[in-house]
Amino acid sequence: MARSVPLPEATGPLLDIKGLRIDGRSEDRWHEIVKGIDLTLRRGEVLGLIGESGAGKSTIGLAAMGYARPGCRISAGVVLFNGTDILKASEAERRRLWGSRIAYVAQSAAASFNPAHKLLDQCVEASIGHQIAAEEDAKRNAVDLFRRLRLPEPEQFGFRYPHQVSGGQLQRAMTAMAMSCRPDLIIFDEPTTALDVTTQIEVLAAIKDIVRQFNTAAIYISHDLAVVAQMADRVMVLRYGELVEEAPTRAMLSAPQKAYTKSLWAVRSLRKEEETGDEILLDVRGVDASYGTLKVLHDINVKVPRGRTVAVVGESGSGKSTLARVITGLLPPRAGTIRFDGKPLPPRLKDRDKSLLRRIQMIYQMPDTALNPRRRIRDILGRPLKNHLGLSGAAREKRTLELLRMIELDERFLDRLPNELSGGQKQRICIARALAIDPELIICDEVTSALDQLVAEEILKLLLRLQKELNVSYLYITHDLATVKAIADEIVVMYQGRVVESGAKSQVLAPPHHEYTELLLSSVPEMDPDWLDGILKKRENASLSA
Amino acid sequence: MSINADEFEMLAREGVTTPTVEPSDVVTQPLPMRRGSVDAAWRALKAAPLTAWFGLFVIAFYAALAIFAPLIAPHAQSAVVGNQYEPWSAEFPFGTDQLGRDMLSRLIYGARNTIGIAVMTTLLSFCIGGVLGLLASIIGGWTDQLLGRAVDILMAIPQLIFALMLLSIVGSSIPNLILIIAVLDSTRVFRLTRAVAMNVVVLDFVEAARLQGEKLGWIMAREILPNILPPLVAEFGLRFCFVFLTISALSFLGLGIQPPTADWGSMVRENATLIAYGDVTPLLPAGCIALLTVGVNFVVDWFLHKTSGLKE
């Protein structure tokens, strides 16, 4: 964010962290998770912290407030806020700072609001509690903030309960709550990660605006480089609790120095050459589906060619996952037919015979819940081999090892339990379990969205390689367009339970677009610090001319 | 152990929390065996608190008494060996009862009868309640409703009175006793199993198993049961005590284990007259019951603490 106004009272840095070390406790031992971080933040400056999960970003963010999560301890370093060390300050002094001078916006607003109180009451709580403003003034201020954050009906908005507003609105309400005392510093901890792209852009614009208006300093934590590029003046790249690289945003984007930073940049460039397929493996025709009386799918038509990938794209609630449930037989459709390899597919799971079940497999979004925590990898992979292929003893052992090699793991993993594996390794095991019995169609339900970018890229590469080797088809459900570009041959865009556009990848991604596809495409953040401003201006002009 | 997932993953990547097998191990042992569960159990025992050790010792002592009763007891359980109510002496360490039978021998045989029946009953009630609870949670719908309401009806009648009524209808024999108490107790097991299994049934790995064509029995036994075992084992310990007390109560009321079979509950009643004379002998069987209950609960507490600690 370039600023034209000179910074007021720019005597010393607002926040100055020196030699910060933080330990985390696991298995009854302390391990260093932040290894000597120096960080300075001037008044009114926005600093972006980037790194994959486990880099220690959030831990540093919280330490900037003088807070360590349960199970963590700050073992060394000073955190000077306005010149005083808040690590040495008493609990009461720190409490006075929190909420009034330093505020925090968490990733999940839904989990951070009390569901039993109205939004307005929660937004004014801090300023009344810190005796900064009288209740009347605080409420007027909150409504003003709602207006500046472009929330609908700002006068009425505060009288709703958290569950009555959308996720994006709640995230903006939390920003309003953080802003209510006009703090000097706000820490945003992945505030848009849980939102889909079309909502994310609104929240980003609102946060960027309000931080600029009040000249607030901010630490913006994210794993998404393109998002940080929009928000931050300066970027710090972290890995394993250490600083990799630090530079002003533009310099960092145009010329990253370290190999790790470059690899972060490269993730989004994965592209698959589009191929067409003639043999239709799965043919979904005119399918309607409903949960009870609520109709969620309307007249869905999808064709999946053999050995190709069809990506189903849409925001949350568009019916993507319901479509997967219909195809797998967990939710019989109300109308329409599904044909698999030329033959009609029985609508109910229990009417499908074992050989048919073998041919359609599924991989889930959360590898943590998709693997039984009490079973070893050997059993998880060995069971389908026995059940479907009748393998036992040495033959099963051999095939299990083959599977592990196929997903680039080895025999050391055989006797581990799922919780001894990282997220990416777990997802690999899920892929191996699906592959174990030679399926022809694999439904991938957001398989990379719970993983950070580098790991996600590896998983996508693995999926592509396996497709080439085994000629398996994927029905790939996602809300992330970068993933779509990386893996799809054909694209189906869904919106509110309907297919709004479908066809070959090049055709769908090239203009002219359907209105909704256009919105989706233009909402994906790009690695350009001016992207957000540009897109907002464009939309504004469009709405003015309309 | 409450650091968040991010940090945990980082630690895992650094190989801090994941036990890594050295490549050399793999070469010498191409198909690595599972880590010995005996070894793991021994390590857990070493870390156990004193109360748990006490509980384990009590249980082991009672088990030894029950198994080797004929070898340990100086007399047979129903043999009249002396006069009525003889005082404690070298010949009869705890005196004799109202018919002149050796109190010590009856206490030892009582362990065998009372504990044996309680174990059988608890096992049976867990088989019934556990299987039905798992079925209700997995199948859901009408099966769940039907089983749930049937259990509600059974639970609507106070357990002891219900057991008394049924026993006086069908007659008091040991198989009847076991069956009736097991069925009545399985209602509690059913509710617990169903409640904890419900949380597991909705997880993706159960769905994945279904999509791979796994049968109901396999899903119950392999996917769900291992994940709900800790609360069930804890409940087993508690239920065992309750069954134990129910049997003793029924025996005390005369509808439990029938004479001349030695049983702690009925032994209290038979010798109750002595209490009026300030003799502690009738309280010995009651003490046996109390000690076992305390011991079992110590072990259960330890187990609960251990499993809940792991989840943190």
Nearest to A454 by CA among A50, A77, A138, A176: A50
Cβ-defined contact of B1 to A56 (cutoff 8 Å): no
Please give the Cα distance from A540 to B305 (Å, whole number): 60
Q: Is B256 part of a structural domain of the chain?
A: yes
**What are phi and psi for residue A18, nearest 5 degrees?**
-125, 130
Q: Is residue B19 part of a domain?
A: no
Bridge partner residues of A305 (DSSP): A280
pLDDT at B34: 47
Contacts within 8 Å (CB) and 24+ apart, A409-412: A411/B26, A411/B30, A411/B32, A412/B20, A412/B21, A412/B26
A473-478 and A309-313 strand pairing: parallel
| Cβ distance of A33 and B205 shorter than 8 Å | no
> With contact defined as beta carbons under 8 Å apart, do A39 and A56 qualify?
no
Output the pTM of the full model: 0.75
The identity of residue B79, as a single letter, is A
- Which pLDDT value is given to residue A267? 62
Which burial class, exposed, middle or buried, applies to B141 when counting CB atoms under 10 A from its CB (0-12, 13-18, 19+)?
exposed
Question: How far apart, in Å, are the Cα atoms of B233 and each of A16, B198, B268?
Answer: 53, 17, 30
**Alpha helical stretches, state H, A13-166:** 57-63, 91-97, 109-112, 119-129, 135-148, 154-157
| Identity at B92, one-letter amino acid code | F
The reply to whether A376 touches chain B by the CB within 8 Å rule is yes
- In the Cβ-directed half-sphere of B98, how many Cα atoms lie within 13 Å? 14
Burial class (CB in 10 A: 0-12, 13-18, 19+), A161: middle
**Nearest residue on chain B to A371, alpha-carbon basis:** B205
Tell me the two tokens of residue B247.
């049997």
Instruction: Print the domain residue range for B134.
Output: 50-311
Question: What are the chain A neighbours of B37 within 8 Å (beta carbons)?
Answer: none
* CATH code of the domain in which B294 resides: 1.10.3720.10
pLDDT in tens, chain A (546 residues): 444 344 444 467 888 888 889 888 766 678 888 888 888 898 888 999 988 777 788 888 888 888 888 778 888 888 888 888 888 888 888 888 887 889 998 877 777 888 888 889 888 888 888 888 888 888 988 998 888 888 888 888 889 888 888 778 888 888 888 888 888 899 998 888 777 777 788 888 888 888 888 888 999 998 888 888 888 889 999 888 888 888 898 888 888 888 888 877 766 667 777 888 788 899 999 999 988 788 889 999 999 999 999 999 987 778 888 899 999 998 899 999 999 998 899 988 888 888 889 999 999 988 888 999 888 899 999 999 988 888 888 889 999 999 998 888 888 888 888 888 888 889 999 999 998 888 999 999 888 877 777 788 888 989 999 999 999 999 999 888 878 888 899 999 998 889 998 888 888 888 777 888 888 888 877 777 788 888 888 887 877 776
Q: Please name the residues between 2 and 31 in chain A that touch chain B, using a CB distance below 8 Å.
A: 24-29, 31
d(CA A211, CA A546): 30
CA–CA separation, A229 and A235 (whole Å)? 8
Question: Would you give the end-to-end CA distance of chain B in angstroms?
Answer: 6
Q: Is residue B112 included in any domain, yes or no?
A: yes
Q: Is residue B8 part of a domain?
A: no
Asked if the Cβ–Cβ distance from A422 to B9 is below 8 Å, we say yes
Does the CB of B4 have a partner CB in chain A at under 8 Å? Answer: yes
Q: Name A227's Cβ contacts closer than 8 Å, sequence gap at least 6.
A: A192, A200, A204, A525
Residue B81 exposed, middle or buried by CB count within 10 Å (0-12, 13-18, 19+): middle
At residue B75, the 3 state secondary structure works out as: coil
| Residue whose pair of structure tokens reads 């050989």 in the numeric block | A355
- Looking from the CA of A497 toward its CB, the CA atoms found within 13 Å total 13
Counting the structural domains of chain B, the total is 1
Evaluate whether B61 touches B115 at the Cβ level (below 8 Å): no
Q: Are the CB atoms for B3 and A71 separated by under 8 Å?
A: yes
- Could you report the per-residue pLDDT of A393-437, keeping only the tens digit for each? 888 999 999 999 888 888 888 888 888 888 888 999 999 999 888
Q: Does A390 touch chain B (CB under 8 A)?
A: no
Q: Do A412 and B20 touch (CB under 8 A)?
A: yes
Say if B29 falls within a structural domain: no
In a domain, B264, yes or no: yes
**B24 at the A interface (CB within 8 A)?**
no
Is any Cβ of chain A less than 8 angstroms from the Cβ of B53?
Answer: no
User: What does the pLDDT read at residue A266?
Assistant: 67
Task: Kindly list the strands in the beta sheet with A498-504, ordered across the sheet, starting from the edge strand earlier in the chain.
Answer: A360-363, A441-445, A473-478, A309-313, A490-495, A498-504
pLDDT at B1: 36
Interface residue B199 vs chain A (CB under 8 A): no
The answer as to whether B214 is a domain residue is yes
Find tokens 């001349």 and name the residue: B260
Q: Tens place of pLDDT for every residue, chain B, 312 residues?
A: 344 444 444 444 443 333 333 333 333 333 344 455 677 778 777 778 888 899 999 999 999 988 888 888 888 888 888 888 888 888 888 888 888 888 888 889 988 888 888 889 999 999 999 999 999 999 988 999 999 999 999 999 998 899 999 999 998 888 999 999 999 999 999 999 999 999 899 888 999 998 888 889 999 998 999 889 888 888 888 888 888 888 888 887 888 888 788 888 888 878 878 888 878 888 888 898 889 888 988 888 888 777 665 433
Q: Give the model confidence (pLDDT) of A244-291 as tens digits.
A: 888 898 888 888 888 888 877 766 667 777 888 788 899 999 999 988
Distance between CA atoms of residues B198 and B134, nearest Å = 8
DSSP state of A102: E
ipTM: 0.72
Helix axes A135-148, A119-129, angle to 10 degrees: 120
How far apart are alpha carbons B182 and B201 in whole angstroms?
A: 26
Here the tokens at position A178 are 């953080």
**Are B6 and A58 in contact (CB < 8 Å)?**
yes
A417 to chain B, any CB pair closer than 8 A? The answer is: no
Residue B286, classed as helix, strand or coil, is helix
The Cα A180–Cα A177 span in angstroms is 5
Tokens of A259: 């190999």
What CA dihedral angle connects A520, A521, A527 and A531, to 10 degrees?
A: -80
C-alpha B276/C-alpha B266 separation (Å) is 17
Do A357 and B2 lie within an 8 Å CB cutoff? no
| Angstrom distance (rounded) from CA A271 to CA A457 | 11
Cα–Cα distance measured from residue A18 to residue B281, given in angstroms and rounded to the nearest whole number: 74
- Among A374, A443, A455, A477, the residue to mutate for chain B (most B Cβ within 10 A): A374
Beta strand A234-239 with A217-222: parallel, antiparallel or unpaired?
A: unpaired
A64 near A78, Cβ under 8 Å?
Answer: no
Domains defined along chain A, listed by start: 15-269 (3.40.50.300), 280-510 (3.40.50.300)
pLDDT on residue B58: 93
Which residue type, as a one-letter code, is found at position A427? Q
Are A24 and A31 in contact, with CB atoms under 8 Å apart?
yes
For chain A, the farthest-separated pair of C-alpha atoms sits apart, in whole angstroms, at 76
Q: Is residue B202 part of a domain?
A: yes
Q: Is B22 on the interface with A (CB under 8 A)?
A: no
* Nearest CB neighbour to B213, from listed A31, A357, A371: A357
Q: Compute the Cα dihedral for A120, A126, A131, A137 and give only its sign.
A: negative
Rounded-to-integer distance, Cα B20 and Cα B33, Å: 15
Q: Does A358 touch chain B (CB under 8 A)?
A: yes
